[in-house]
Amino acid sequence: MKAARDIGLLFQRYAVQLLRNPVWLVVGFSTPILYLALFTPLLKNLVGDGGLPTGNVLDEFLPGILALLAFASGAGSGFSTIFELKAGVIERFRVTPASRFAILTGPILATMVMMFVFDAVVVAVGYGFGFSVHWAGLAVLGVLLGLLLIIMAAFSIATALVTKDISGFAAIINGINLPVLLLAGVLLPISLGPAWMRVIAHFNPLYYLVQASRVLAGGTLSGPAVWQAFAVLVPLCVLVLAWATQVFRRAVA
């Protein structure tokens, strides 16, 4: 009960900070739109003989963009943690009796709400260019995107608290970003790759989300890809959150 109240307070604080920092909003909005505008045209030529299934390329590509957005919003969370660490904000909160879990999750929830706003914009723009919208599928996809964002954000924030400086943190996050993105089939389906790549991809949590996102966006609510994604992301989310709360509690900041 007290944790819920603290989460609410810190959610509100972080949301206000985001809204008062227009640079963040502009960058946040422009990234997915740029992907749609500058990457989709390249895919058009791959349809059919190029190896992609026929139909509107957006139906294949847009769900991947949503997954990418969840991944990147979460992974970037630690940057503001580093900033707040340097500014003494985290320490000021840690010395209050506020719930440690709330100090961690308040900002994550605010980031999640912002992500859903961006997702809505991406879907609306995509719809204008022929993306077929299946509401129920998108709703279930939203749950999966939320899970991935929590996983990435908790991981990113905890990593920031452990490394404590921007260079060490950026090295770890960037080092993880690229292989995870490439091995998830976000931009191009992993089915285009050789067998070894498809095997490695199965160890990548993002891969399951991307697979599920295409099925769900196509309007299919059940199927192996969907339950596999839940089976991977739910336990992972619990694990990462427990670890991150532990990092906070151990008072390393």
Partner 1 sequence: MDDVITTRDLRKSFRSRRGPVEAVRGVSIEVRRGETFGFLGPNGAGKTTTLRMLTTLLPIDSGTATVAGFDVARQPRQVRGRIGYVSQLGGADELATGRENLILQGRLYGASRARVAPRAEALIELLDLADFADRRVVTYSGGQRRRLDIALGIVHEPSVLFLDEPSTGLDPQSRANLWDHIRALAAGGTTVFLTTHYLEEADVLCDRLMIMDHGQIVAEGTPRELKQQVAGDAISISLRAGGQSDGAAAAALAGQPYVRELADDGDGQVRLYVDDGGTALPQLIRLLDARGIGVRSISMSEPTLDDVFLRQTGRSLRDESEAPGDPGPGRKEVAA
Instruction: Tell me the C-alpha to C-alpha distance, in Å, between residue 114 and each of 5, 14, 35, 44, 138.
Output: 20, 11, 18, 30, 17
80 counts as binding partner 1 under rule CB under 8 A: no
171 counts as binding partner 1 under rule CB under 8 A: no
13 counts as binding partner 1 under rule CB under 8 A: yes
What tokens does 33 get? 């739109």
Which residue, 22 or 194, is less far from partner 1 as judged by CB? 22
The nearest distance, CB 115 to partner 1, in angstroms, is 20
165 counts as binding partner 1 under rule CB under 8 A: yes
Piece of the chain touching partner 1 by CB under 8 A; list 27-35, 173-181, 222-230, 244-252? 244-252
Q: Considering just the CA atoms, what is the radius of gyration of the chain in Å?
A: 19
Phi, psi of 251 (to 5 degrees): 60, 50
Q: How far is CA 38 from the centre of its chain?
A: 21
What tokens does 252 get? 């390393």
Interface with partner 1 (CB under 8 A), residue from 21, 30, 45, 174: 21
251 counts as binding partner 1 under rule CB under 8 A: yes
89 counts as binding partner 1 under rule CB under 8 A: yes
Check if the beta carbon of residue 189 is closer than 8 Å to that of residue 87: no
Largest CA distance in the chain: 62
Q: How far apart are CA 12 and CA 219, in angstroms?
A: 34
Cα–Cα nearest to 75, from 134, 31, 45:
31
134 counts as binding partner 1 under rule CB under 8 A: no
The nearest distance, CB 240 to partner 1, in angstroms, is 22
Touching partner 1, residues 91-130 (CB under 8 A): 91-98
Piece of the chain touching partner 1 by CB under 8 A; list 82-90, 128-136, 215-223, 225-233? 82-90
Residues that bind partner 1 (CB under 8 A): 2, 6, 9, 13, 16-17, 20-21, 85-98, 164-165, 250-253
